[in-house]
A and B are shown apart, each in its own frame.
Chain A
Amino acid sequence: MIAIVDYGAGNIFSVKNALDYLGLENELTADAKKIEAADAVILPGVGAFPAAMNKLCESGLTEIVKAEARKKPFLGICLGMQMLFEKSYEFEECDGLGLIPGSVQKMETPGLIIPHMGWNKLEYGTDCPILHGLGDESYVYFVHSYAAVTEEKYLAAWVEYGGRVPAMVYDGDTVYGAQFHPEKSGSVGLQILKNFGGLIR
């Protein structure tokens, strides 16, 4: 079972719809025991970083999420991906989960529209199991104004938007983060979620 962490932030139903469509057993939950018992965990999120971290803290799930992320396949989506990092500077300096070294900062793309919204083409970096089988030309759907700043070795995919924008980060073990919305990225996004489901042993 894949636990979708329901801490009151964002449109989690789309993620559930996509997993249901793929036939991957899942449950929206804020129950620490269920997250512990799950085979894999998805951390969704839309909105502002400090508000989302606060909500996660208020749900009493921060420590359990940190611990479980090291034990089983763990995917952060959009703001959930940004929360994997050590710090964010959205509105104020705010600590993240610290699962991947790096920070989250306002995008600097002179002459380009912010938010970075729409479909952009993945360019591949370090090998990442959940990006396997996607083909050369894979577009995924983004909506964000802040972006991760991290070391090259964690960068599994990026897109070009006034420079390299991290799209998929991977710690090389259990922690994955998608800046885009796989649940809104058509067949490419579904393949990524299917690959993620396939990590469950």
Chain B
Amino acid sequence: MLAKRIIPCLDVRDGKVVKGVKFEGVRDVGDPVALAEIYNEQGADEIVFYDITASYEKRGVMLDVVRETAKRVFVPLTVGGGIKTVDDIRETLRAGADKGSVNSQAVKNPQLIKDGADIFGSQCICVGIDAKKIADGKWTVYINGGRVDMKLDLIDWVKRIEQLGAGEICLNSIDADGTKEGFDLPMLRAVCDAVTIPVIASGGAGKIDDFSEVFEETGATAALAASLFHFGELTVGDVKTHCRSHGIPMRIK
């Protein structure tokens, strides 16, 4: 039976992990490669690097991080942030990533999803979405890190990206993000009902029950969290053992 996935996400700027990280026994807590190795040891099913480097010219630094990680960590790697063209996707995959995640640029230029899927295969193209509730059962899509409302209906958008050939959706709820009050279940349910591609739940995880809840209450196939794992409040292993005790299929290392 296919396991549900637990995915830690690392925000990286100029080659360093941004959010404060507390791990005992690790000297350079800002080293994304070292952290990826720790998450791998904890049983992460996949690792996401989110590049928040301000300048496009410094993308090479992120690619070096991916290259080094790919030599030591043998689980799927996804890179998001700053991918604007098919060439960017190609470079990302060549560096050793398995998937490229596109967000704002996909909204501005949906053809990027189709071109990427046609050239590299749907499995390489993840579309990240930041969305916010405007009414019951209605959400709109934001870009530029959740700052700009595109007045684009979320459900229309996810159907569109599925048609364009996206292999997966990483759905972040702006309302839930940072609250630590749990994933945005209504939004996740609505999106999972609208598409047949896998959906990763993102935003809002604050305690271990939030993970079992999102798998029990929605069709999400994976759950992503950042600060919760970085601050050492929970390990990936803790989350998986807990979910399995709820009868959710999990790969335990």
Binding site for B on A (CB under 8 A): 11, 13-14, 17-18, 20-21, 46-47, 113-121, 137, 139, 141, 143, 159-161, 183-187, 189-190
Count of A-B contacts with CB under 8 A? Answer: 79
Q: Are B2 and A161 in contact (CB under 8 A)?
A: yes
Cα separation A116 to B72 with both chains bound (whole Å): 26
- Which A residues touch B123, using CB under 8 A? 46, 115, 117, 143
Q: Are A141 and B76 in contact (CB under 8 A)?
A: yes
How far apart are B33's CB and chain A's nearest CB, in angstroms? 13
- Which A residues touch B45, using CB under 8 A? 118-119
5 extra interface residue pairs, beta carbon distance < 8 Å, beyond A14-B96, A190-B74: A14-B98, A17-B70, A113-B221, A114-B196, A143-B123
- Which A residues touch B70, using CB under 8 A? 13-14, 17
Binding site for A on B (CB under 8 A): 1-3, 5, 40, 45, 70-72, 74-76, 93-94, 96, 98, 121-123, 167-168, 196-198, 221-222, 251-253
Q: Are A184 and B98 in contact (CB under 8 A)?
A: yes
Interface of B is mostly: loop
How far apart are A178's CB and chain B's nearest CB, in angstroms? 14
Q: Are A184 and B94 in contact (CB under 8 A)?
A: no
12 interchain pairs (CB within 8 A)? A13-B96, A114-B196, A115-B167, A117-B167, A118-B3, A118-B5, A119-B5, A120-B2, A120-B3, A137-B252, A184-B74, A186-B75
- Which A residues touch B94, using CB under 8 A? 13
- Which A residues touch B196, using CB under 8 A? 113-114
- Which B residues touch A117, using CB under 8 A? 123, 167-168, 198
